[in-house]
Structure 1
């Protein structure tokens, strides 16, 4: 997918998480989590600019998602040290958002015929549902619209419940 499609899938994946965070009385984490998901939404495509790394290679795997999650956990620990309190919450939040942000990217790319090597290095098999080409403008904008609507609906629903 292209940037807009990745944004949309990231928002769609984040919507239930955002709902839960709002419901738990953590609008601060909902806001930061949503922003982080959007920021991470195209990180795996850094492979376009890395010599010797093929596109949809190691950065498009579960291993990379877990690595980014570990970095997020470290950021959460650092933030807890600076702000004080909530260490466990911030570490889990950082790990969850980091991992989920990359998994959302993989999900979007798995919609395309090229797929993703989700289980690399254990398997070189590409996983795909062959739904649309990555360069399909309509599909990218449709995913963005669905993601925005899902996130807005989750926010409105959470505010009504709380």
Structure 2
């Protein structure tokens, strides 16, 4: 059961990271396009601004699950170093529960915000609802839950290795 979940988690977190990277490529490409249209052609494309922002928001919320999975989000380095091995496992659970509580709030209010924003349209893209931009919070949060549980089952503490 544990190995099955960890395989699922690797695929889900990997997928989220691939999409986050794609959002970064989209944001960079649109930024370059915006520079060309604004300063070279002197015909600014206003629609690129909102798409850049939206892709950056999606990039962040889909990149966070990888950070959670690597144990790099909530740093309790000193407590881990000073604690005996049994206490470290208790700390793993405390960090996991605190992170899940935070992500639960993000999912709950993110979904509420997305629903409320569904009546708004994007500036420059009047036919597209803001729902799609706000949806990044609950979707990213769901991927975070998978990464947090994966880190609890198979702990990785990247911040301890890179903090030196």
Same fold (TM over 0.5): no
Q: Which has the higher helix share?
A: 2
Q: When the two structures are superposed, what TM-score results if normalisation uses the length of structure 1?
A: 0.37
Bigger radius of gyration: 2
